[in-house]
């Protein structure tokens, strides 16, 4: 076993140690998409034992016929069943943007943020998202929630957490931006780095907090309170130091990048995923195909901006507002280029910017921008599971995998919007109250 395989095995054990359920459950599914990317099956029976799938059979088999006379039957004969959905880009801690978010940053206690994080996690699970990758966790509330969910203390999606996002000074993740200088001392800055040594240390600090992966920014961001654009804001040696240090510890690295220069920097250094990727061009697509990195489009951000501005036209400061208008005008174009070329795509919303619990709205936007319902669903199941390093545990409904599954009315392969309303959700073999 290599060091990285060992580390990945340990990480998986930590994520899946929730108390097991010993009883057997027999699920009758009218239609079953057990392996997204392949054709759906008709009437099927899924057997769950100890929180895992033990069998998938054709037709509706009764417990007696399966040798499990005391098993509980779940009747989903009128429903379409598919694997639990995975959102590869959320921010469970936050749901207020713009000026309101800035105010909350200096008024809310960490305890208040923790309760908000829990509420957002519950909304996400009830929307059918049984696993999320959380990319930006300022207070550590989501890291703590990850463990509380694993221990079975509270109900929530399985969380893969990146801890604090890292950027260079005055870059996208610098919380000092927009704050008067006297306040800087009170605001955490250990996620900001400049130069190779400093960037190696920034990653190591997150490793020490027990994160599952590292998130960095190589370009400016839409929501950061500075008008320096969305091009590259890190040097090549800094990006390499960040990527190499994450990989040294067996952690994947997700990169926030809008401008093509920052996307190229990240891909050339070996990034595992590009988040947003708003200005993809031919050269960047070739790099994606060469490196096998994932693209996470986060189209839902636009919904978040439009809705927030409709409620309050003054929701954002002028320098952020200008970037938002640009983002609204270009979002989706990169996916239109990347999808037909075979770039690996994982579903991710940036919920926190868009609304928690409305994660499935992303499917509709993906289909509007060049994907089919089938490939969009694969992006939110098999692909996202692979990106999260959990392909052996989740993403498909096969014997041995976790019993994470959802049911909807209608056929999402014909109309992907039916995924916006869940009829039934199960995580780790436990039914979730909707
Ligand atoms: Zn984000």
Contact 230, 250 (CB under 8 A): no
Do 210 and 350 belong to one domain? Answer: yes
Q: Could you tell me the distance, in angstroms and rounded to a whole number, from the CA of residue 350 to the centre of ligand 1? A: 5
Reference 309, options 299, 300, 317, 297; nearest CA is: 317
Distances (CA, A) of 431 to 29, 298, 403, 434: 15, 28, 10, 9
Do 98 and 79 belong to one domain? Answer: no
Domain annotation covers residue 101: yes
CATH of the domain at 14: 2.30.40.10
CATH of the domain at 336: 3.20.20.140
Domain annotation covers residue 392: no
Do 252 and 156 belong to one domain? Answer: yes
According to DSSP, residue 112 is labeled: H
Collapse the DSSP code of 72 into the 3-class scheme (helix H, G, I; strand E, B; otherwise coil) and give the result: strand
Do 372 and 404 belong to one domain? Answer: no
User: Can you say whether the dihedral through the CA atoms of 303, 307, 309, 310 is positive or negative?
Assistant: positive
- Domain count of the fold of the chain: 2
Q: Could you tell me the distance, in angstroms and rounded to a whole number, from the CA of residue 91 to the centre of ligand 1? A: 6
Do 139 and 251 belong to one domain? Answer: yes
The structure's pTM equals 0.94
Q: Could you tell me the distance, in angstroms and rounded to a whole number, from the CA of residue 136 to the centre of ligand 1? A: 7
Do 76 and 93 belong to one domain? Answer: no
Do 245 and 284 belong to one domain? Answer: yes
Do 80 and 125 belong to one domain? Answer: no
Range of the structural domain that residue 19 is part of:
3-84+397-432
Do 109 and 79 belong to one domain? Answer: no
Domain annotation covers residue 44: yes
Q: Could you tell me the distance, in angstroms and rounded to a whole number, from the CA of residue 352 to the centre of ligand 1? A: 8
Domain annotation covers residue 31: yes
Q: Could you tell me the distance, in angstroms and rounded to a whole number, from the CA of residue 172 to the centre of ligand 1? A: 10
* Alpha-helical regions (H) of 340-399: 361-368, 373-378, 384-387
Q: Could you tell me the distance, in angstroms and rounded to a whole number, from the CA of residue 45 to the centre of ligand 1? A: 38
Q: Could you tell me the distance, in angstroms and rounded to a whole number, from the CA of residue 135 to the centre of ligand 1? A: 6
User: Looking at residue 349, what is its pLDDT?
Assistant: 98
Q: Could you tell me the distance, in angstroms and rounded to a whole number, from the CA of residue 189 to the centre of ligand 1? A: 18
* Distance from C-alpha of 119 to C-alpha of 123, rounded to nearest angstrom: 6
pLDDT in tens, the chain (434 residues): 455 555 555 555 555 544 445 589 999 999 999 999 999 999 999 999 999 999 999 999 999 999 999 999 999 999 999 999 999 999 999 988 888 888 888 899 999 999 999 999 999 999 999 999 999 988 999 999 999 999 999 999 999 999 999 999 999 999 999 889 999 998 889 999 999 999 999 999 999 999 999 999 999 998 888 888 889 999 999 999 999 999 999 999 999 999 999 999 999 999 999 999 999 999 999 999 999 999 999 999 999 999 999 999 999 998 899 999 999 999 999 999 999 999 999 999 999 999 999 999 999 999 999 999 999 999 999 999 999 999 999 999 999 999 999 999 999 999 999 999 999 999 999 999 98
Q: Could you tell me the distance, in angstroms and rounded to a whole number, from the CA of residue 291 to the centre of ligand 1? A: 22
Reference 54, options 11, 21, 12; nearest CA is: 21
Do 31 and 137 belong to one domain? Answer: no
Collapse the DSSP code of 219 into the 3-class scheme (helix H, G, I; strand E, B; otherwise coil) and give the result: strand
* Distance from C-alpha of 25 to C-alpha of 42, rounded to nearest angstrom: 19
Do 58 and 169 belong to one domain? Answer: no
Do 282 and 208 belong to one domain? Answer: yes
Domain annotation covers residue 157: yes
Q: Could you tell me the distance, in angstroms and rounded to a whole number, from the CA of residue 220 to the centre of ligand 1? A: 12
Domain annotation covers residue 33: yes
* Distance from C-alpha of 176 to C-alpha of 269, rounded to nearest angstrom: 27
User: Looking at residue 19, what is its pLDDT?
Assistant: 45
């Amino acid at each position: 076993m290599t060091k990285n395989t060992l580390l990945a095995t340990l990480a998986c054990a930590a994520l899946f140690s929730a108390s097991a359920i010993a009883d057997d459950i027999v699920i009758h599914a009218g239609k079953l998409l057990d392996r997204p990317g392949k054709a759906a099956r008709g009437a099927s029976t899924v057997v769950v034992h100890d929180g895992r799938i033990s069998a998938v059979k054709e037709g509706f088999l009764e417990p007696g016929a399966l040798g499990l006379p005391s098993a509980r039957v779940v009747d989903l004969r009128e429903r379409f069943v598919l694997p639990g959905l995975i959102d590869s880009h959320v921010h469970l801690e936050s749901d207020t943007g713009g000026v309101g978010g800035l105010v909350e940053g200096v008024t809310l206690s960490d305890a208040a943020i923790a309760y908000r994080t829990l509420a957002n996690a519950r909304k996400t699970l009830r929307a059918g998202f049984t696993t999320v990758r959380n990319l930006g966790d300022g207070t550590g509330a989501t890291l703590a929630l990850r463990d509380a969910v694993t221990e079975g203390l509270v109900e929530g999606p399985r969380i893969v957490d990146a801890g604090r996002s890292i950027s260079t000074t005055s870059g996208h993740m610098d919380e000092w931006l927009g704050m008067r200088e006297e306040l800087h001392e009170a605001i955490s800055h250990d996620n900001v780095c400049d130069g190779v040594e400093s960037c190696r240390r920034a990653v190591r600090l997150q490793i020490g907090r027990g994160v599952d992966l590292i998130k960095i920014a190589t370009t400016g961001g839409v929501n950061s309170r500075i008008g320096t654009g969305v091009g590259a804001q890190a040097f090549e040696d800094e990006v390499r130091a960040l990527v190499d240090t994450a990989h040294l510890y067996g952690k994947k690295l997700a990169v926030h990048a809008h401008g093509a220069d920052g996307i190229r920097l990240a891909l050339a250094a070996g990034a595992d995923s590009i988040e947003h990727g708003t200005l993809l061009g031919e050269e960047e697509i070739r790099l994606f195909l060469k490196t096998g990195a994932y693209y996470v489009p986060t189209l839902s951000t636009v919904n978040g901006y439009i809705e927030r501005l409709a409620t309050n036209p003054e929701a954002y400061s002028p320098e952020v507002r200008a970037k938002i208008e640009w983002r609204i005008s270009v979002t989706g174009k990169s996916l239109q280029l990347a999808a037909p070329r075979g770039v690996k795509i994982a579903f991710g919303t940036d919920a926190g910017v868009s609304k928690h619990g409305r994660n499935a709205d992303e499917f509709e936007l993906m289909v509007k921008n060049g994907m089919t319902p089938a490939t969009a669903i694969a992006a939110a199941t098999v692909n996202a599971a692979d990106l999260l390093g959990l392909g052996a545990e989740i993403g498909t409904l096969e014997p041995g995998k976790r019993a994470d599954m959802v049911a909807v009315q209608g056929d999402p392969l014909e109309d992907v919007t039916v995924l916006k309303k869940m009829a039934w959700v199960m995580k780790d073999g436990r039914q979730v109250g909707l």
